[in-house]
Chains A and B, each alone.
Chain A
Amino acid sequence: MNAVVLNKVSAFYGRVQALRNVSFQAPEGEITIVLGPNGAGKSSLLRAITGLLKLREGKVLFRDREIGRLDTHEIILNGIALVPENRQIFAPFTVRENLEMGSLPLVKQNRRDEIPSQLKLVLELFPLLRHRLQEPAWTLSGGMQQMLAIGRALMSNPSVLLLDEPSLGLAPMVIQEIYAVMKRLNNGGLTIVMVEQNVANVLNLATNVYLMDTGEIVVHEIGKDLDLENILEVYLAKKDVNKTRAHRKEEGMLKN
């Protein structure tokens, strides 16, 4: 079963086409990675899922339910959380207040009783935050801000977590820590979709990989033994994208 599906989605920023006829599936309970150079449409993919980017054509489905026409604040209530690019934490708020904001979806659905356990989970995953609860978020380092952003997203107890380049600007140690957290959450059943630019980082995480370029999906690899050479060569333009192969594979996926 697929947690999130995009079906032939096209989307524009003004006159610029950000997504061209994109079909994408994020299987339930798995980690899906989306790779690609800047401007490839990776962020746009996540924004289309969360309603920050309006669709011109196509559908977005969450567990077979169409969410493409809804407003962002309504989509979130379905159990989707996004950690945006550059974290976008509420800088003047304290760490605790940021996490509180993250729990709003639970408040709106009368699930306040779940909040304490979520907070406990977040502080367990990111113990460094525990000591900084009363401090304004802008005083945190980049790495801690990223942890806060992820923690904030987790406060709503989502079933799908989307992350937009979480490793951007972070030290390798911190990146490894965050990825370890991702692994742990996924083991607990959380579906994760992660957008990254730096390929090497995500290699041992993913079981489902997409490579995008110019708003299109150009490569889709699935399973434990990913053909990374293929991805590398496409990325560096050493090899022309064999689109028919990618599309054939996609078709194969859809039949499943």
Chain B
Amino acid sequence: MGAPGRNKFLYWGFMVCGAAGAILFPSILTNEYYVHLANMVGISIILTLSLNLVFGFAGQISVGHAGFYAIGAYVFSNAVVTWGIPFFLSVLIALLACATVGLLIGLPTLRLKGFYLAMATLAFGVVVFVTASQWREFTGGAMGFLGIPRPTVLGYKLATERSYYYLILFSVVIVFWIIHNLRNSDVGRSMVAVRDSESAAGSLGINATKYKLMAFVFASVFAGLAGALYASLARYVSPNNFTLTLSFVILAMVILGGLGSNLGAVLGGMIMVLLPESTHLLGKFHLMVYSLLLILVVIFAPHGLMGLVHKLAPRTAHILMPRQNHGPAFLQESQAILNAPEREVRSFLEVRTLSKFFGGLTALYDVSFSVAHGSITGIIGPNGAGKTTLFNIITGVFPPSQGKVVFRDDPISGLKTHMISHKGIIRTFQSVNLFPDLTVHENVLIGTHRHYTSGVLEAILRLPSLSRKQALAQQITEEVLDITGLNDVRDQLCRNLPFGKQRIVETARALAARPQLILLDEPAAGLASWEKESLKRTLLRIRDLFGITIILIDHSVHFVTDICQHIIVLDSGQLIAQGSPKEIQESSVVQEAYLGKLV
């Protein structure tokens, strides 16, 4: 855990100073202009934080973020001016409107990725802009919307920049707190998992749709809040406040600060307002400078300023981010999960007359076999035999064309991946499917999702139930890291690990999900011989310690005959033989399949 004591002291010291500075700030400065700047900084920070949530955490690129900013501003303005609704209720209405639009935009864009998602969000931004310019009755058109009032809080009207500052400060703190809590909970980790690998996330029981939508809605709500705050601050809004350029600048600042980092987003928000102010010669060139800077960052420093801070001064970075404080271990409960008795079932896993056709291609035909509880079964066969297709069907990547899969008397064919994961079947992939930008520890921790899912409210409010879940999840993670021998690399980013270790992390992550059945797709592929030995030992330990049933695919007949009790041989989609390793080696059918008919 490092040196938590020292970390915490510096961390809290920093926080207290920061808080004091923030609160005293308006009284210290005599020039109201600086307070205005601070207000703009605050609003910008909310914007960058919200974009970082949907793009940085959930990986959904949004190039039209100013659209939600606009919707928040205009709905709020109409609510409070045109419909005479009280200030804070108007804000709420604006937030609801944004949430609705966020959902409406989020749902159809779920299927879109990359360029298409970017285009869609860009189009959204422009549609909002054009609507704002044209829909005079609602927005005042190009002339803008005038006469937006300031709120009255506890009898005191926030008429000055100074007084309004506190409302903005309060909002920023709340937004940051919410996002911070989200990120450091199962919710945030699930979002990141979905960003890094939807397939791996699904295999661990994480419902990608749910988390992507959540991110979109939260981001749009926060952007809408910024819009309402801005409207009241400036007392006037016009379409020029919500241009595509602004969407671009917010995006640029998030990346400049460091995509995926809350602190980076804060930095970005500050730079967004302060940079043009401090260098007046930028003036007309500012967009060019931003663009150039952005391209340079993307090529040379893709993790932005926070990335550079991490590289150059790793200790400072750690000071700014305290370690997670886990509650006391609830030993009894975790033992209960580990040693849950096997309920009596007729068969553990049964594959019945499974067939899969892709257009004219028969990938699998009439495959039937059963797997005994607590065994290690191997599936082998020449290239294109249908082994991975079989796994894909069992884990719900696609349904079978015919036949079914029954797991512990429960038919599972046709269910979605994350639902099958929840039933206790976890898989690994042929090419390593880790979350590359997360540490080994985090990767394995995400594996515990299916048992320790936390709700949004739980996460935001840091309810005690959350601590309990985190503690249990943490405990299982520690155990798994121990068993698989990964403790020495636990804090390294997965993309920096050698391949053999990455494979083991993947197995460890699957293990953390406490599966009853683990499917390993070519776990030994690409490993050196000593790494294979290590893997064999780990698999045997898993089976012996936890009674987990293992099915693995591998091309190395060596590896499979060493470790499996039962082997199934596929060739061209059909099951041609099954039996003990010796039987398979002696089988002429198998020999023919692999080597062809010898003359």
**A and B in direct contact, judged by CB atoms within 8 A:** yes
Chain A positions within 8 Å of B, measured between CB atoms, are 14-18, 20, 37-40, 165, 168-169, 197-201, 203-204, 213-215, 228, 232, 235-238
- Asked if B502 is at the interface of the complex by the 8 Å CB criterion, the answer is yes
A17 touches B599 (CB 8 A): no
Contact status of A236 and B591, CB under 8 A, knowing A16-B499, A197-B382, A198-B596: yes
A15 touches B599 (CB 8 A): no
A232 touches B522 (CB 8 A): no
B557 touches A236 (CB 8 A): yes
- Asked if B595 is at the interface of the complex by the 8 Å CB criterion, the answer is yes
A200 touches B384 (CB 8 A): no
Residue from A16, A18, A169 having most chain B Cβ neighbours under 10 A: A16
- Asked if B498 is at the interface of the complex by the 8 Å CB criterion, the answer is yes
CA separation between A20 and B530, bound complex, in Å? 14
Interface string of B586-599 (1 = CB under 8 A from A): 00001100111111
A15 touches B499 (CB 8 A): yes
B585 touches A238 (CB 8 A): yes
Select one of B497, B499, B528, B594 contacting A235, CB under 8 A. B594
CA separation between A14 and B17, bound complex, in Å? 45
5 contacting pairs across A/B (C-beta < 8 A)? A16-B499, A37-B555, A214-B528, A235-B595, A237-B585
B595 touches A37 (CB 8 A): no
Question: Within 8 Å CB of B598, what residues of A?
Answer: 199-200, 203, 228
- Asked if B383 is at the interface of the complex by the 8 Å CB criterion, the answer is yes
Chain A residue, CB-CB nearest to B502: A15
CA separation between A236 and B555, bound complex, in Å? 11
B595 touches A17 (CB 8 A): no
CA separation between A238 and B581, bound complex, in Å? 10
Contact status of A39 and B595, CB under 8 A, knowing A16-B526, A17-B499, A17-B526: no
A39 touches B522 (CB 8 A): yes
CA separation between A228 and B585, bound complex, in Å? 16
- Asked if B370 is at the interface of the complex by the 8 Å CB criterion, the answer is no
Chain B positions within 8 Å of A, measured between CB atoms, are 382-384, 432, 497-499, 502, 522, 525-529, 555-558, 561, 585, 590-591, 594-599
B594 touches A236 (CB 8 A): yes
Select one of A20, A200, A214 contacting B599, CB under 8 A. A200
B557 touches A39 (CB 8 A): no
The 8 A-B residue pairs whose C-beta atoms are closest, nearest first, are A200-B596, A199-B595, A237-B558, A16-B526, A15-B499, A198-B596, A237-B557, A38-B555
CA separation between A98 and B527, bound complex, in Å? 39
Contact status of A168 and B384, CB under 8 A, knowing A236-B557, A236-B591: yes
Question: Within 8 Å CB of A165, what residues of B?
Answer: 383
A232 touches B591 (CB 8 A): yes
Question: Within 8 Å CB of B585, what residues of A?
Answer: 236-238
CA separation between A236 and B526, bound complex, in Å? 19
Chain A residue, CB-CB nearest to B594: A235
Chain B residue, CB-CB nearest to A215: B526
CA separation between A40 and B597, bound complex, in Å? 22
CA separation between A8 and B300, bound complex, in Å? 33
Question: Within 8 Å CB of A14, what residues of B?
Answer: 499
The smallest beta-carbon distance between A138 and chain B, in angstroms, is: 13
Contact status of A200 and B526, CB under 8 A, knowing A37-B555, A38-B382, A237-B557: no
CA separation between A43 and B327, bound complex, in Å? 52
Question: Within 8 Å CB of B594, what residues of A?
Answer: 37, 197-199, 235-236
B561 touches A200 (CB 8 A): no
Chain B residue, CB-CB nearest to A213: B556
Question: Within 8 Å CB of A198, what residues of B?
Answer: 382, 594-596
Question: Within 8 Å CB of A199, what residues of B?
Answer: 594-596, 598
CA separation between A38 and B553, bound complex, in Å? 12
B383 touches A168 (CB 8 A): yes
Question: Within 8 Å CB of A201, what residues of B?
Answer: 596
The smallest beta-carbon distance between A185 and chain B, in angstroms, is: 22
Question: Within 8 Å CB of B558, what residues of A?
Answer: 213, 237
Chain A residue, CB-CB nearest to B382: A197
CA separation between A232 and B591, bound complex, in Å? 8
Contact status of A232 and B595, CB under 8 A, knowing A17-B499, A38-B382, A197-B383: yes
Question: Within 8 Å CB of B599, what residues of A?
Answer: 200, 203-204
CA separation between A183 and B585, bound complex, in Å? 33
Question: Within 8 Å CB of B556, what residues of A?
Answer: 37, 39, 213-214, 237
Question: Within 8 Å CB of A17, what residues of B?
Answer: 499, 526, 528
Question: Within 8 Å CB of A38, what residues of B?
Answer: 382-383, 555
A235 touches B557 (CB 8 A): yes
B384 touches A169 (CB 8 A): yes
Known: A16-B525, A37-B594, A203-B599. 17 other contacts (CB 8 A): A15-B499, A15-B502, A37-B556, A37-B557, A39-B526, A39-B555, A198-B595, A198-B596, A199-B595, A200-B595, A213-B558, A215-B526, A232-B595, A236-B590, A237-B556, A237-B561, A237-B585
CA separation between A200 and B498, bound complex, in Å? 37
The smallest beta-carbon distance between B5 and chain A, in angstroms, is: 37
CA separation between A86 and B497, bound complex, in Å? 32
CA separation between A130 and B434, bound complex, in Å? 50
CA separation between A236 and B583, bound complex, in Å? 12
Select one of B498, B529, B557, B596 contacting A15, CB under 8 A. B498
CA separation between A249 and B525, bound complex, in Å? 27
Question: Within 8 Å CB of B596, what residues of A?
Answer: 198-201
Question: Within 8 Å CB of B432, what residues of A?
Answer: 15
CA separation between A238 and B561, bound complex, in Å? 9
Question: Within 8 Å CB of B382, what residues of A?
Answer: 38, 197-198
Question: Within 8 Å CB of B597, what residues of A?
Answer: 200
Question: Within 8 Å CB of B522, what residues of A?
Answer: 39
CA separation between A214 and B382, bound complex, in Å? 15
Question: Within 8 Å CB of A236, what residues of B?
Answer: 557, 585, 590-591, 594
CA separation between A123 and B41, bound complex, in Å? 73
Chain A residue, CB-CB nearest to B582: A238
The smallest beta-carbon distance between B322 and chain A, in angstroms, is: 32
The smallest beta-carbon distance between A142 and chain B, in angstroms, is: 11
CA separation between A20 and B529, bound complex, in Å? 12
The smallest beta-carbon distance between B528 and chain A, in angstroms, is: 8
CA separation between A109 and B418, bound complex, in Å? 56
CA separation between A134 and B432, bound complex, in Å? 44
CA separation between A213 and B526, bound complex, in Å? 10
Question: Within 8 Å CB of A168, what residues of B?
Answer: 383-384
CA separation between A236 and B582, bound complex, in Å? 11
Chain A residue, CB-CB nearest to B532: A214
CA separation between A119 and B596, bound complex, in Å? 33
Question: Within 8 Å CB of A37, what residues of B?
Answer: 555-557, 594
CA separation between A237 and B378, bound complex, in Å? 14
CA separation between A16 and B556, bound complex, in Å? 16
CA separation between A14 and B496, bound complex, in Å? 11
CA separation between A214 and B555, bound complex, in Å? 10
